[in-house]
A and B are shown apart, each in its own frame.
Chain A
C-alpha cells in the first residue's frame, strides 16, 4: 500500500465517519430542545460573494440608536465610520443630524475645570470623530444602573460569540460503546468543520445575536429559576441580565420596512457584524480577485512543472 492509497482510504474513512456522525449524533440542546438551538440564518454578507446590505445596516443602526444605546456603546467605532464605504454609508448631513443631540464629556475648560458648579460633568456636542460611547461615565456607573450587570461594549460582539459545532454528549452508556460514540462525535466534528469551510461560515456571532433577540419567551418556562433576571433560551445558563430589548414595532423604520421583532433582530445582528468587521466588503471583493489569480497561477505553475519534468523519470 503506497502513501497515496493509505491517505485515500483514510480520507474515505473520515468522510464515512463524518456522515454517520452527522446523521447519528444527536445534538445536545439542554432541557429546552430546539428552542435552545441556534439556527444558521441567511445573511447578505455570507459566502464568497457576500457584502453588507446598506439598507439593512441603516435599519440596524436605527435600532441601535433608538434602543441599544440606552445601555450599550460601540467604543471602537467613531460616528464617522457610519459614513465610510462598506458600512451603512449615511451622508454627512444625515449623520450630523443623528449626532445633533449627542454629547460627550468635555475637555477641561479655560479654567481647567471638568465639572460645573453643581458638580455635574461638563459636556460638549459630539463630533463625527468622537467614539460611539456608552451612556455611562464608567463601568461602575453602568453596573449601578443595571442591577450590578455590566452591559458589554458591542463593537466586536459579533465576533466574540460563536456556536459550537456539536455540543458535548453524555458519553457512552456502557464502556464497550465508548469507541463508537467517541468516533461518532469526532466524525460529526470533522463533518461540521468541512461544512463550515465549504460555506465559509463566519456568521456564528450574527446567528447568535439574532437567536438571542428572538429567544425571550413571554413567560419564563415552569421550573426555570432565573431570580430577578430574564429567561432566554439560547443564553448560556438561560438567566440573562438584559430584559427583552426589542419587540414587534420597537422601532418605526425610516424606510417603511415592516417593524417585526424578527426584522429588528436581523437588522441589529447585521449591524453588529458590520461593527465587528467594517472592512468585510473590501476583504471579500479583494479575496475573490486574489483567489482567481492564485488558481490561474497554480495552473500555469503546474504546466511549467510538467514541461520541465517531461521525459525525466521520477
Chain B
C-alpha cells in the first residue's frame, strides 16, 4: 500500500513460508500495526474506525434480515413485521439495522466536516477525498433503497418522489424513470430491484472503503495542524496508540447507538412508515430520512423541477470538487480565521436546511430555504475560492507537528498564546 519500507520479520517457519507466498501478515503489520500516524490526531480522527464498525454491523444485520424479508409488494410490510414479532431476536436485528443507518450517517457527516475543517481534501489527498465522496453517494443510494424495502407509506412515496426526479431530465427523463421502476409506476418490479440493489451496493461500498483506506495509506493521515509529516518524531505507530484511541471512541459511539436501538428504536423513522404502502393515498407531508433533509430542502427551494434536481445534485458535486475550489496552501482552518468563520456558518446553514427539509414547502419556510441554499452555493463557489486567494495566515505556524506538540503549548492555553505572540 504505502511507500514505507517494511520492517516485518516473520518469527516462525510457517510464517516465513507463508510470507514468501502471500504476504498478508506483512501487509497487516505494515499498514495497521507499525503504520506511522501523526501523533497529534485528535478525537475527530476516530470516525474512520467508528464507520468501519457500523459498516460491519450493517452487513451482518442486513444479511440476517435478508434471510427473512420478502421483496413482494403484498408481503414486504408483513414480512418486516414478522421479523419484528416472530423471528428470534428479529426485533434486535431490525432495530440495529435501521438505527445503524442513521448512526452511519452521523459518523460520516462528522468525518466529512472534519475533512473540510482541517483541509484533508488538499494535495496530496484529492483522490482520497473523491473516493470518500463516492462512498458517501453509495451510502445514500443504499440508505434510500433500504428505506423503501419495508414498503410503508413513506417508503413508497419517498421512492416515488426520488425516482420521479429523473423524469426532469429533458427528452429521456420519462424513459429513464420507467427503466428505474421496471414498470409504469413504483410497484412490484421496483421493490424487487431495490432489494437486489440494496444487497449489491454494500459490496461496492466495501470495495470503495478498501480503496479509500489504500489511498489513505499512500499519502498518510492529515492532522489538526495541517502540516505534512517531516520526521519520524512526528508520528507514532498505529498500534497501540491509534487502535486504542479509535476503539475507545467506537465504544462510546456504540453506547449512544445502543441507547437508540433499545430505547428510541423508532425515533429516527416516521410514523407513516407503519402504514402499509398505498398508491392511492398520499401522506400529508412526504419527508425523507433525516440524513437527506438538507438536500431535500435544496431540491424544494428551486421553483423549477429540473432546476431543483440540478441544484440538489450540484449541492453534493460542489463538495466533491472542493480540492480545486480551495487551493490555499494552508490546510488547517486553525490558521485561517476568516475561512473558519465562513465554515462554521456553513455548518449552521446545513443544519438549518435540514430543519427546513422536514417542514412543508410553504410560506416562509420556502423563503428561508432559498436564502440558505444560496449561501450553500455562494460558500463553495465564491467565498471558498476568494479566501483561497486572499487569505494568508495571521499567525506563525509551527515548523512541524513535533514543534506544535512539544512547543510552549503546555504553558498557556492556545488562544492566549496566539494573543501573546503578538499577532
Contact = CB atoms under 8 A, between A and B. Distances in A.
Interface residues of A, number: 57
A155 B92 CA distance: 19
B255 A294 contact: yes
Contacts of A181: 364
B382 interface: no
B266 interface: yes
A22 B106 CA distance: 26
Contact of A294 (B254, B344, B365): B254
Given A160-B274, A314-B405, A284 B247 contact: no
Interface string B214-256: 0000000000100000000000100011001101100110110
B412 interface: no
A312 B236 contact: yes
Contact of A279 (B40, B91, B248, B261): B91
A309 B367 CA distance: 51
Which of A159, A181, A196 has most B Cβ within 10 Å?
A159
B241 A160 contact: no
Contacts of A282: 91
A159 B97 CA distance: 18
Contacts of A201: 264, 267
A302 B252 CA distance: 10
Interface of B: 39-42, 44, 78, 81, 84-85, 91-92, 95, 117, 224, 236, 240-241, 244-245, 247-248, 251-252, 254-255, 258-259, 261-267, 270-272, 274-275, 284, 334, 337, 340, 344, 348, 352, 355, 359-360, 363-365, 367-368, 405-406, 414-415
A254 interface: no
Contacts of A76: 78, 81, 85
Given A6-B340, A76-B78, 14 more contacts: A3-B224, A155-B81, A168-B360, A196-B264, A196-B267, A279-B84, A284-B262, A287-B263, A290-B258, A291-B262, A294-B258, A308-B240, A312-B39, A313-B405
A257 interface: no
B85 A2 contact: no
B272 A160 contact: yes
A166 B364 CA distance: 16
Given A76-B78, A204-B271, A304 B244 contact: yes
Contact of B251 (A200, A205, A286, A297): A297
A90 interface: no
B271 A308 contact: no
B264 A162 contact: no
Contact of A2 (B272, B355, B414): B414
A41 interface: no
Contacts of A178: 364, 367-368
A294 B251 contact: yes
